[in-house]
Amino acid sequence: MAKPVMCIVLPQIFLVAFFHLCMSSQTKECTSNPSLSPQFYENSCPKAQAIVQSFVAKAHSNDLRMAASLLRLHFHDCFVNGCDGSLLLDNSGTMESEKRSDSNVDSARGFEVIDDIKSALENECPQTVSCADILALVARDTTVITGGPSWEVYLGRRDAREASLIASNNNIPVASSTFQTIVTKFNDQGLDLTDLVALLGGHTIGNSRCKSFRERLYNHSGNSDLDQTLNQNYASVLQQGCPISGDDQNLFALDYMTPNKFDNYYFKNLMSFKGLLSSDEILYTKSRDSMELVKLYGANEELFFEQYAKSMVKMGNISPLTGTDGEIRRICRRVNN
């Protein structure tokens, strides 16, 4: 997730015009894989999207945290050998599950919701809708139900028959990643700086654990110091629930202003040095180009929504299995017999 980095900030008027053109068009320019189509299940499983939406709504009603958790699954799936549902596989024989990687262990959740959706789809249209496509649809529906943008989800992915714990550890950025590391990991997936900043805007919902940002509070540079890019008043509030040791699993909102609403406050928080994770705040402090994008999205929620939707389509097209590759799993947690 290393290619040369193109750090270009386009004028706002051009950005709005371009993104509107792409989001309102169904031409191939808006999707990187012509094998996928929004109408893929139109005849084979016409109720598929409605079924997914109903289960997302129920899950969100039962647990407001679940939307962000489900959205995260699509990211962590696509960054490991493409959007192929490999993240959903449990340990089996010699295959080590990606659920055990540093980015997923004790934090990835929502698998039971995916199980329920898959079971309902199998009852409606057996062995038709892939687990990979379920993740893509769920990512869109969780964004919408929390107030964010919608987009046409391109469908037709098939499911992987194997997982890669090593790739999961290597490909997914973590909270302590440097700016260049994050850029490189996104570039490796064909995603540029604009995609990176927009997609990290997904942190407008969700939570992170104390241990993911503790170093910023107590030992940022190895000298028992506070991260100087963290607002001191905000840091004091965080320290009350995240002590220098213990309470590793205590949860804190990634966007403390509107933690359950998909909006552009994530970017506004970064501009006031109140990004929870180092890997978020560095978008504003380590690169002039990413700083300008943060400012742009912080000032214009509509523009953020348009780019986020466009980048989600782009991410959803990372190396999908199509045609006769892979399989359509009957149960998302294990390959077919």
Feature table: binding site for Ca(2+): 77, 80, 82, 84, 86, 98, 204, 255, 258, 263
* Contact residues for 186 (Cβ-Cβ < 8 A; gap 6+): 1, 173, 192, 193, 195, 196, 199
CA torsion angle 290 296 302 308 (round to 10)? 0
The Cβ of residue 49 has, within 10 Å, a number of other Cβ atoms equal to 19
Rounded to 5 degrees, what angle do the CA atoms 11, 272, 297 make? 25
Packing angle of the helix pair 288-299, 278-285 (nearest 10 deg):
100
Feature table: binding site: 77, 80, 82, 84, 86, 98, 173, 203-204, 255, 258, 263
Length of the chain: 337
Feature table: binding site for heme b: 203
Q: Which of 20, 74, 76, 220 is catalytic?
A: 76
Feature table: binding site for substrate: 173
> 318: burial class by Cβ within 10 Å (0-12, 13-18, 19+)?
buried
20 a catalytic residue:
no
> 17: burial class by Cβ within 10 Å (0-12, 13-18, 19+)?
exposed
**Active site residue ranges:** 76
